[in-house]
Amino acid sequence: MLVTPYVLLLLVGGIIPVGYAVVKSLQNESETGFGGLSSYARVTADFRFVETFTNVALVLCVWLPVMLTTVVILALLIDASSRRFGATMRFVYYLPGSLAGIANFMLWLFLLNPGQSPVDFLWDGFGYTSLNEVAQPDNLPFILAAMLFFQGAGTWIIVLCGGLNGIPDELLEAARVDGATARAVVWHVKLPMLRPWLGYMTLLNLAYGFQLFLEPQVLSQVTHGLISPQWTPNQLSFTYAYQILDTPAAAAMSVILLLVTLSLGLLVIHRSRLFQDER
């Protein structure tokens, strides 16, 4: 009985949509009959297919290491602070993440626009005088990584602080009695205990990163096409569905994206021992 709500949500929000996408992807282009793997062939033959995954991989390579390192360091510093100061800093770090979705994007649009941005001096240093110069395609992985970092870092700091609070005091005290320094306690006790939480964080952020759509889509519009409207896999799927009107190809793109994300997720679960029992 306790799992019934979860199973219902899984069916409605997961299994049924995935099943529909798989069935739709096996139709032919005119959606009048069985097309086999022709939709997958059309998608993978598209010159933009590999490029979209490369773009997302670049964002992840910039974003995830910075996110993991910074969040762990800040969570450890908060854990070592006094209770009142730590609670205050958790709230401060969480504030940027409270602006989600389009509100967060509009704030970043203001920050990225030289002449209006409070960090205009930074853009002057790079010689940028307009939004189009800042939001060049070569800069986009770094811009998106910054957006994603400030949107999610505060939440993950709170999660890791919860993980640190869950470490038994007896374990920490035993390490200190054995002569472990503060650095040794962090390295040999706290970080290993955080490993499942870091795996969980990596897993969810990987899934989120591959679903990028809003930020590059709107940036493409405000820069008048300077950035490709098919910059990410989701954008390419959107193009197939609503511009080319090839819904089987859009469904095939979605299934491929799901398989890639699941494969990477299983790798993270295996490497982080996320669901293994502690012995």
Which H or E element spans position 171? helix 169-177
Cβ contact 134:128 at 8 Å:
yes
For the chain of 279 residues, list the mean pLDDT of each consecutive stretch of 10.
Answer: 81 86 83 80 91 94 93 90 84 78 79 82 83 86 90 88 85 80 83 86 89 88 85 92 89 92 86 65
> Could you tell me the CA-to-CA distances from 251 to 19, 206, 210, 247, 257 in Å, in that order?
10, 21, 16, 6, 10
Cβ contact 279:62 at 8 Å:
no
pLDDT number for residue 169: 82
Phi/psi of residue 207, each to 5°?
Answer: -60, -40
Structural domain span for residue 235: 4-272
For residue 139, the one-letter residue type is: N
Whether residue 277 is contained in a domain is answered as no
Cβ contact 268:252 at 8 Å:
no
pLDDT number for residue 186: 84
Whether residue 134 is contained in a domain is answered as yes
Domain count, the chain: 1
Say how far apart CA 168 and CA 185 lie, in whole Å: 13
Whether residue 216 is contained in a domain is answered as yes
166-195 per-residue burial string, b: 16 or more CB within 10 A, e: under 16: ebeeeebeebeeeebeeeebbeebbeebbe
Q: Report the CATH number at residue 175.
A: 1.10.3720.10
Say how far apart CA 37 and CA 144 lie, in whole Å: 33
- Neighbouring CB atoms inside 10 A of 205's CB total 19
Whether residue 128 is contained in a domain is answered as yes
Whether residue 278 is contained in a domain is answered as no
Return the SS3 of 34: strand
How buried is 95 (Cβ within 10 angstroms: 0-12 exposed, 13-18 middle, 19+ buried)? exposed
pLDDT number for residue 31: 66
pLDDT number for residue 279: 47
Whether residue 279 is contained in a domain is answered as no
> Could you tell me the CA-to-CA distances from 175 to 77, 167, 181, 188 in Å, in that order?
19, 12, 8, 9
pLDDT number for residue 60: 94
Say how far apart CA 193 and CA 132 lie, in whole Å: 45
Residue 185 makes CB contacts below 8 A (sequence gap 6+) with 172, 175, 176
Whether residue 198 is contained in a domain is answered as yes
Say how far apart CA 274 and CA 277 lie, in whole Å: 9
Match 């086999």 to its residue by tokens.
36
Whether residue 73 is contained in a domain is answered as yes
